[in-house]
Structure 1
């Protein structure tokens, strides 16, 4: 009712009564652009490795001379998912402060993959250095990026 006394409709009052973001949190445009740049660069990993793995199969990892067809099939399938994950993350770069739900879902998929890789390490043994780097990305870098994105979203 007070809004009508001041000549404002109820829709305007509702919009102003619930401001977006956190007014106490200071996020600069530079910090937002830095997150966008880091995410864009990080997307190169699944796009590059996934793309190479789709085209060349597991043979490019220089392990077994003869790769079973089912292993090749599974490897290329998972590589396709990895490549698509990279594409999906690229859709979060523009307007990253508004893409929280998508970013968290994609990040959760990466963390789940990292946990599976950690299980492999515990049951089969340590992977090669490249796969250890993947584990750092999956269980370290991506969760930190998720926290950073949430900070940017809260401060918008």
Structure 2
């Protein structure tokens, strides 16, 4: 592996590690905090937060062999983008654009696809 490729790999690994903090922290928060609803709705919110946590952990699991995890990263990215598109539909249906929603959309439709693109370029360098 060339020095430039090694540096690119380390930079991608660091970026994935930092970006993964968002879904892991948000997922843990959602699991552990009261969600302000009762019964099955609260339980469903905790389940969805657990999925978010799992997505973040799965992205983190790709870090050690980042240059070989193209399919893994693409599948996770597709899941995140679909979620972001659904969040966008919610906005079209009248959901408020809160700062937390805007931040999530930036991660889901911006940062995650860019990281996926970067990983693909890294993988193609071999």
Runs ≥4 residues deviating over 6 A? none
Pick aligned residue for 2:75 from 100, 105, 111: 105
Q: Does 1:74 align with 2:44?
A: yes
* 1:44 paired residue number: 21
* 1:152 paired residue number: 122
Following superposition, the deviation at residue 74 of structure 1 comes to 1.4
RMSD: 1.4
Describe the superposition over 1:1-30 as per-residue Cα deviations: whole angstroms up to 9, x where unpaired.
Answer: xxxxxxxxxxxxxxxxxxxxxxxxx95211
What aligned pairs does 1:87-106 form with structure 2 within 5 A after superposition?
Answer: 87-106=57-76
Which secondary structure state, in structure 2, belongs to the residue aligned with residue 93 of structure 1? coil
Following superposition, the deviation at residue 68 of structure 1 comes to 3.1
**C-alpha distance 109-27 of structure 1, shift in aligned 2 (>3 A):** farther
What aligned pairs does 1:16-55 form with structure 2 within 5 A after superposition?
Answer: 28-55=5-32
Distance 1:127 1:69 in 2: 26
Distance 2:27 2:97 in 1: 18
TM-score by length of 2: 0.92
| Alignment: residue pair count | 124
| Higher percent of residues as helix | 2
